[in-house]
Amino acid sequence: MTAWTLVAVGAASTSAVGGNLTITLPAGGQKGDLYVAVIAYRSTPAFTGPAGWTIHQQQSLGNTSTTTNTSIGSGLIASIVRGDAAPGNVFTRTAGDVALGRILIYRASNGRPVFMASSSSTAAANATALSTAAINVISKDTLIIAGFCGADNTTVSIFDATDPATASAATDTTTPPTAGNWYERADSNTATGADTALGIADGVKATTGSTGNIICTAGNSSRHVMVAAAFYVRKRYVLAT
């Protein structure tokens, strides 16, 4: 049995002219599921999450240049564990530019998902090889979700780390998260507004210790953003009688 199930990958949702972003909630979620949102956007106004959501990392240094070698992205990763009802899906901000987001749903096989740690970075210079800092994993079978938030309407590929050590290949929306492997779950972009792109991948680290830097490869060289967050399972125990 795998420690995690990928329940659903939501459709990409776009706000082309700034302001709030309403992200489509995928079907299939139930109480106790982990909902993860990743948003790529441009310009500096930051987002606030709906009630109950926690924004783990947000980089908001972006600009609105549409020239590849001067464009800077912004992005965030957030999560919530579902209660009896589906969570809110309107992320709010004032003004800004284009935003592109998705919500993914994961289900732990035995226990309740709990946030562990996160990291993020805005590339200091134009680059196609991107990274965000390692996450120190303190529980086995930890789920790591990485997001690429593009400074242009480009593509992304090859999510990887030291552990999990097997890089992602083509987009895969069906295979359960598996120890030691990365799976790219989404890769989309838009030429509306100042342009942006969004890629999301997940991996499972079977043992404790550092992931090493989490990396990916962009289709063009700009100051893109990477975000990542890790989640473990708080086990359920049954008392002997």
Residue 239 located in a structural domain: no
Q: What is the structure's pLDDT at 85?
A: 97
Q: What is the structure's pLDDT at 234?
A: 84
**Chain segment 26-47, per-residue pLDDT in tens:** 999 999 999 999 999 999 999 9
**Chain segment 159-198, per-residue pLDDT in tens:** 999 999 999 999 999 999 999 999 999 999 999 999 999 9
Count of domains forming the chain: 1
Residue 212 located in a structural domain: yes
Give me 119's structure tokens: 């990291």
Residue 82 located in a structural domain: yes
Q: How far apart are CA 57 and CA 206, in angstroms?
A: 24
Q: What is the largest CA-CA distance in the chain?
A: 68
Residue 10 located in a structural domain: yes
**Chain segment 87-107, per-residue pLDDT in tens:** 999 999 999 999 999 999 999
Residues 217 and 133: beta-carbon distance below 8 Å: no
Residue 29 located in a structural domain: yes
* CA nearest neighbour of 33 among 23, 25, 42, 41: 25
pLDDT above 80 for 1: no
* CA nearest neighbour of 198 among 166, 225, 176: 225
Task: Return all residues near 181 (Cβ < 8 A) that are at least 6 apart.
Answer: 164, 166, 168, 203, 204
Q: Please state whether the predicted TM-score (pTM) of the whole model is above 0.85.
A: yes
Structural domain span for residue 43: 4-234
Residue 148 located in a structural domain: yes
Give me 223's structure tokens: 């100051």
Mean pLDDT of the chain: 96
**Chain segment 111-156, per-residue pLDDT in tens:** 999 999 999 999 999 999 999 999 999 999 999 999 999 999 999 9
Q: Does residue 164 have a cis bond before it (omega within 30 degrees)?
A: yes
Residue 67 located in a structural domain: yes
For 66, half-sphere exposure in the C-beta direction (CA atoms, 13 angstrom radius) is 8
Residue 240 located in a structural domain: no
